[in-house]
Amino acid sequence: MVAAYAQNGHLDRAARLFGLIPETNLVLWNAMISGYAQNKSIDIAKNLFEKMPERDVASWNSMISAFALHGQCSNAVALLLEMDLEGIHCNRITLLSILDAVDRIHLKFLHAEICSRGLDTEVVMGTALIKTYGRMESPDLARSAFDRILERNIVSWNTLVEAWDHRRSLSLFRGMDLEGLQPTRITFLSLIDGFGSPQALDASRIVHKCATYEGLDLDHEVLSSLIKMYARCESLVDAKLLFQNEMNRSSLVYNSMLSALSGGGEEALVFLREMDLEGVKVEKSSLINTLESCKSIAQGKILHSSIPSELLRSDTALGTSVLYMYGRHGDVITARTIFEELHERTLVAWTALISTYAQNGRGNTALALFRLAGLDGILPDTVTFAKILVACSHAGLVTHGCQFFSSFMGDYNLVPSLDHYNCLIDLLCRNGRLFDAQEVAANMPFEPNLVSWVTLLGGCSIHSDPEGAFGAAQRANGVDSRSTAPYSLLSNLVKSLK
């Protein structure tokens, strides 16, 4: 009964009954820990775990899984080490539960633990490693994990296709054939999702032909993915041909075509009306895609008018997309009105509003909104972090920006990415703090990328520092010799000095 209550979220009842039992066993303790963990009461679960008179592997697994499930990877790894010190050997379930949520910092250690137990050669563990490295955008390490598996199956191949660099993924078909494995619908869906640039159009057409050969172009999910693939490759001709050749068009196919046309402005609106006449329901995701790519505020207003007011207020994701659209086109007042009318103001909605003010030169208001969001119980994430830095940069609030950068690490335990450091470099450069910007580029825990050096070069150009500009241009050229941006900025600087 205790386990049933706990598993179904009735924790008060489970706790009362648990307290009445004179001699509770491990099964009941584990059920309570698991119940609290599933309901996000991690602190209570940890407190119960520490009070347990004895623990088995299931107890440790429950607590480690709880930490991993809720993004507390450091705590999960610490508990894994503690488990080892107590002489309890972790099993596959323990390692898989952490692997599913591990971050880049702890992955190397966890991979070493898996290898030390010889588990990396097993198909389930190896496939989980491939998936994790794919999530980390490390295709070569994903391939290394794949190569270690002794008996690969179609699932491990499909996972590699998803994780692999699309430019090389076609070669995997040959490898599958050599191992006597037939590509599945999942294989093609993963492969199709990997192609998405004009440079990949020829390869995309090969994938399309392969899918047709296997008879999968009749599958509406595959067909929809192919339409989206051609749209990403900027070949609307191919996308339209696919759509027109399909006589039995489902809602999924229609919505994929709408998403493909979303960058086409008026054409997307005409197609939207056609869907309405055909009685096809417009999916929220397609509507959001169309809103995101509106080329004018006039088009955005037409889309806005097609959405029922109550739906706009009750559906935060949809309302936020309309808010973003008005913000992109400079209509701060309408964006603010939409925000105020939302039934639920989530972190994403607050971030959208902060971004709107930041992008439209209202940095001080953006910072005030950030503080207001805090009073509303909203904790920032890394996206909010970036928007605040942009707001400070555009408003010339250097001191505030630097303070926010420190507070996000210290007060909110957020780890800055390379993009955040580039925002900080931009903030300093815009306001003439070139030496400080160079110090950030030299000492940040990432290798500066093209954006880092071009931002620094731009700052040196604006503030007439030719020596710094030439140095940044050389470093930018070392990162990507094909980029013309450094030469353009240098040319402008030289002209201004004449």
In tens, the pLDDT along 322-340 reads 999 999 999 999 999 999 9
Residue 423 tokens read as: 């925002």
Residue 139 tokens read as: 């295709």
Q: Is 86 left (phi over 0), alpha (psi -120 to 50) or beta?
A: alpha
Q: Which residues of 135-173 are buried (b: 16+ CB within 10 A; e: fewer)?
A: beebbebbbebbebbeebeeebbbbbbbbbebeebbebb
Q: Which residues of the chain have pLDDT under 50?
A: 1-6, 10, 20, 22
CATH architecture of 417-498: Alpha Horseshoe (1.25)
Degrees (nearest 5) of the Cα angle 379, 381, 384?
A: 100
The pLDDT value recorded for residue 4 is 46
Q: Where are the domains of the chain?
A: 183-248, 417-498
Q: Which long-range contacts (CB under 8 A, 24 or more apart) does 108-116 make?
A: 109/77, 110/77, 113/80
Residue 133 tokens read as: 């490295």
Interatomic CA distance for residues 271 and 274, integer angstroms: 5
Using only C-alpha atoms, the chain has a radius of gyration, in whole angstroms, of 27
The pLDDT value recorded for residue 467 is 81
Interatomic CA distance for residues 339 and 354, integer angstroms: 11
Interatomic CA distance for residues 221 and 250, integer angstroms: 10
Interatomic CA distance for residues 191 and 161, integer angstroms: 6
Helix-then-strand count for the chain, H and E: 33, 0
The pLDDT value recorded for residue 325 is 92
Degrees (nearest 5) of the Cα angle 464, 467, 473?
A: 95
Q: Which long-range contacts (CB under 8 A, 24 or more apart) does 21-26 make?
A: 26/52, 26/54, 26/55, 26/56, 26/58, 26/59
The pLDDT value recorded for residue 1 is 46
Tell me, what amino acid is at 376? Answer: D
**Which residue intervals of 315-448 are DSSP H helices?**
316-328, 332-341, 347-359, 363-375, 382-395, 398-410, 418-430, 434-443
Tokens 């940890």 sit at which residue?
A: 46
Residue 85 tokens read as: 């010190």
Which secondary-structure segment (H or E) carries 475?
helix 466-479
The pLDDT value recorded for residue 69 is 77
